[in-house]
Structure 1
Amino acid sequence: MSTQSVVNAIHVIEAISTLQPVGLSDLARTLEQPKATVLRALRTLEELGWVEQGEAPAAHWSLTYHAYAVAARTGMRQNIRDLAIAPMSALQEESSETIHLCVPDGRNMVVVERLDSSHTLRAFLALGTTLQMHASGTGLAFLAASNPEFVDDYLSGPLDARTARSLTSPAKIRDELQAIRERGYSINVDGRSEGITSLGAAICDHSGTPIGSVSISGPTSRITESHFNDFGKSLVRTARMITNRLSGTR
């Protein structure tokens, strides 16, 4: 790839991040580039997993979840952490449990920040750990906030069980996603690790697209059903605060 091609690709990514979903004509007009030049960059970026094209007739272009994940693990990660750390700290102090911040990468969620509980017995996921969406609190919350096409695509792939309580049936996962939408947060009891319960809520960008999730995690023996309602409300409030900080609103 020539230097100019790299420059064009970067400009395309930057424009899509601001305008998405955006059509080829509008993108070319914004970049003041021929459609053919922009389309070549789009096809290369699509092949590498950075952008995706919607269905006809609009066929608009958007950044993929992979693009968000790569950015979160590099420069954008620090920005997300900076904006999320205060609400996460307040949630950790309120719940006294471990708080995780995750972003999507393909079919997984990736842990990009963690605030540990002071309890000796606690949940622990190293930074960079990947979590299957259907088997984690953050992943289920993310799926519940995702568009139907993403959910359909995810459920058409492998749904391996992490534990005996992992959800692996597409129908049961869809039912659970609807329950999450109604209550506002996910509840994952022993679904990824036996003896660990995690509640999650999605973090969205200015357009309402989910770009991550925040969770409260701890031993199932301590995070019992009697805590779900209070923890869930606090979690939703925290996710909304982070979402507002990311979008520059109050």
Structure 2
Amino acid sequence: MDKTLLKGLVVLEAVTDLQNQPKTIEELATRVGLTRSNAHRTLQTLIHAGYVEKDEDAGGYRGTIRLFELGARQLAQLDVRRIALPLMRALAERTEETVHLSVLDGLDVVYVEKIDSAQPIRAYSMVGGRGPAYAVATGKALLAYQHDGYLDGYAKQLMKHTAATVTSLSALKDELQKVVRVGYAVNNGEWREGVGGVAAAVFNGLDQPIAAVGISGPLERLTTRKMKEFAPDVQACALKISRAMGHRGAGKTSTR
């Protein structure tokens, strides 16, 4: 157990209790059972991380808006799963392929929901699993709508998974611009040999990309022609989820 991390979380909970009033170091130290110096060091770390700020007028410490943003993102992810599930089932019935709902975490996607294909040969994945965002369709659908410079810090982490993986930052950015233009992303065996997919981004009421929905399957069955055929269905599914999340745009608005 990481006692330092645990200490920081306990202090953070004390700072942000339901009373919502700035807390002094003495109050916090007494409440969580730390010395004043330990409480001060922990608060300085939380301030540096952006989760706590000092209220000079009140002479105490309070939580920042970053905590709200963190909680809002988590809540949005939980809501989008519930809303997306029936629409994902319909997409699975229409395409007969595996349907994924993914969220972005750095340079990875995390699969938060999944409907398995009824086909005997299908794409393998699991809820809670990860994939390289730049090499899977749902990941590229999300990366396409991130702010300028998002990928720059990850340039050295782009690695080959198959012969088809795009590892050139400039080539990847060009592809992501195309994703914005056409409204969907494709994966042609870029993470796993012989497995591809097509996906589109899901937006919330603030026009922010919060998830991506897509289908995946063996390229022998999910051919380039089939991907183009199913792309409108995938886009329609993403747009319906977005509408249910409060989005009122066309589902392709980019911040790039």
Q: String of CA shifts for 1:176-195, please: whole Å, max 9, x gaps.
A: 10111111100110001101
Asked if the contact 1:65/1:211 (under 8 Å) is kept, the reply is: no
The equivalent of 1:172 in structure 2 is: 171
How has the CA–CA distance of structure 1 residues 100 and 120 changed in structure 2, closer, same or farther, with 3 Å as cutoff?
same
Pairing 1:1-250 to 2, within 5 Å after superposition: 1=8, 5-9=12-16, 44=46, 47=49, 71=74, 78-154=78-154, 156-247=155-246
User: Residue 133 of structure 1: CA displacement?
Assistant: 1.0
- Residue identity opposite 2:144 in structure 1: A
Which secondary structure state, in structure 1, belongs to the residue aligned with residue 157 of structure 2?
Answer: coil
C-alpha separation in 1, matches of 2:228 and 2:200: 13
User: Residue 108 of structure 1: CA displacement?
Assistant: 0.8
State the percentage of identical aligned residues: 28
CA-based RMSD: 3.5
Q: String of CA shifts for 1:148-188, please: whole Å, max 9, x gaps.
A: 1323334x341011111111000110111011111110011
Structure 1 gaps, min length 5 = 12-30, 35-39, 52-59
Aligned length: 214
Q: String of CA shifts for 1:90-138, please: whole Å, max 9, x gaps.
A: 1111111000111122221101111011110111201111111111111
C-alpha separation in 1, matches of 2:216 and 2:188: 10
Asked if the contact 1:123/1:196 (under 8 Å) is kept, the reply is: yes
Q: String of CA shifts for 1:184-235, please: whole Å, max 9, x gaps.
A: 1001100011010111111122112211111110010011121122211111
Structure 2 gaps, min length 5 = 1-7, 24-41, 53-63, 250-256
C-alpha separation in 2, matches of 1:130 and 1:47: 26
C-alpha separation in 1, matches of 2:48 and 2:240: 32
How has the CA–CA distance of structure 1 residues 83 and 168 changed in structure 2, closer, same or farther, with 3 Å as cutoff?
same
> Normalised by the size of structure 1, how large is the TM-score?
0.73
> Normalised by the size of structure 2, how large is the TM-score?
0.71
Asked if the contact 1:9/1:42 (under 8 Å) is kept, the reply is: no
Higher Cα radius of gyration: 2
Asked if the contact 1:140/1:186 (under 8 Å) is kept, the reply is: yes
Asked if the contact 1:121/1:219 (under 8 Å) is kept, the reply is: yes
